[in-house]
């Protein structure tokens, strides 16, 4: 498949069973299913506006169950932005993000310019193992953005992707093709309270 220059690739990483696919599916299709199916690798495409024209947002949903370093490296080197997902019900899943972050760091070199979002998913769950401040602390340490979401209740899902696009300073992207400035602004306003943008 020929590389399309105007593709914007977002890669979703995270341990097995934290809800990567659920997040992506909620965003792309607006649905949520209580299934439990491991992913091999899925890619979804959506047309968004970018610098007053259109481009394709490509979301790669990776596998969390087994690591194939080669595939992971490839995803990282090709990705423009990264979503690192853990589950607030599992401390271990946050731990597992650390080597992935290190790898992004190693491959991309300078992560300052790269949009990375740390996401605590399953915020609807009551059996919390990772407090919000723990996630924030981790995000601070990594100098990346942080957000808590719930694919089940559709909490912060669209916001997550929009905010990720906003993080990219080189491009001016919006989920809406017509590029309504106002809508984007207001959404960004709305988000201010919920996420800490570094």
21 binds other proteins (CB under 8 A): no
- Phi and psi of 40, rounded to 5°? -90, -70
**Measured from the CB atom, is 68 or 176 closer to other proteins?**
68
Residues pairing with 115 in the sheet: none
24 binds other proteins (CB under 8 A): no
52, with CB counted inside 10 A (0-12, 13-18, 19+), is: exposed
Among 28, 55, 71, 188, binds other proteins (CB under 8 A): 71
19 binds other proteins (CB under 8 A): no
Long-range contacts at 100-106 (CB < 8 A, ≥ 24 apart): 100/13, 100/14, 100/72, 101/142, 103/72, 103/73, 103/76, 104/76
Q: Does 99 bind other proteins (CB under 8 A)?
A: yes
Query: Token pair for residue 186?
Result: 């207001």
Residue number with CB closer to other proteins (67 or 185): 67
Q: Which of 25, 58, 59, 96 binds other proteins (CB under 8 A)?
A: 96
Tell whether residue 102 is a contact of other proteins (CB under 8 A).
no
Asked whether position 17 contacts other proteins by CB under 8 A, the answer is: yes
Query: In Å, what is the CA distance from 181 to each residue of 31, 157, 174?
Result: 27, 20, 9
Report the interface residues with other proteins, using CB under 8 A. Answer: 15-17, 36-41, 64-66, 68, 70-71, 74, 90, 92-93, 95-96, 99
């Amino acid at each position: 498949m020929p590389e399309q220059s105007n593709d914007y690739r977002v890669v979703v990483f995270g341990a097995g069973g934290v809800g990567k696919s659920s997040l992506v599916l909620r965003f792309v299709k607006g649905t949520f299913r209580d299934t439990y199916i491991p992913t091999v690798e899925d890619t979804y495409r959506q047309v968004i506006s970018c610098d007053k024209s259109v481009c394709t947002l490509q979301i790669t949903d990776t596998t969390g169950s087994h690591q194939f370093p080669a595939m992971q490296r490839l995803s990282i080197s090709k990705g423009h932005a990264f979503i690192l997902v853990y589950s607030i019900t599992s401390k271990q899943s946050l731990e597992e993000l650390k080597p992935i972050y290190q790898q992004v760091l190693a491959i991309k070199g300078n992560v300052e310019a790269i949009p990375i979002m740390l996401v605590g998913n399953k915020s609807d769950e009551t059996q919390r193992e990772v407090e919000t401040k723990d996630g924030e602390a981790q995000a601070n340490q990594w100098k990346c953005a942080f957000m808590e979401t719930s694919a089940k209740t559709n909490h912060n899902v669209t916001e997550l992707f929009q905010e990720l696009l906003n993080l990219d300073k080189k491009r001016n992207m919006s989920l809406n093709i017509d590029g309504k400035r106002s809508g984007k602004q207001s959404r960004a306003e709305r988000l201010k309270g919920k996420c800490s943008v570094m």
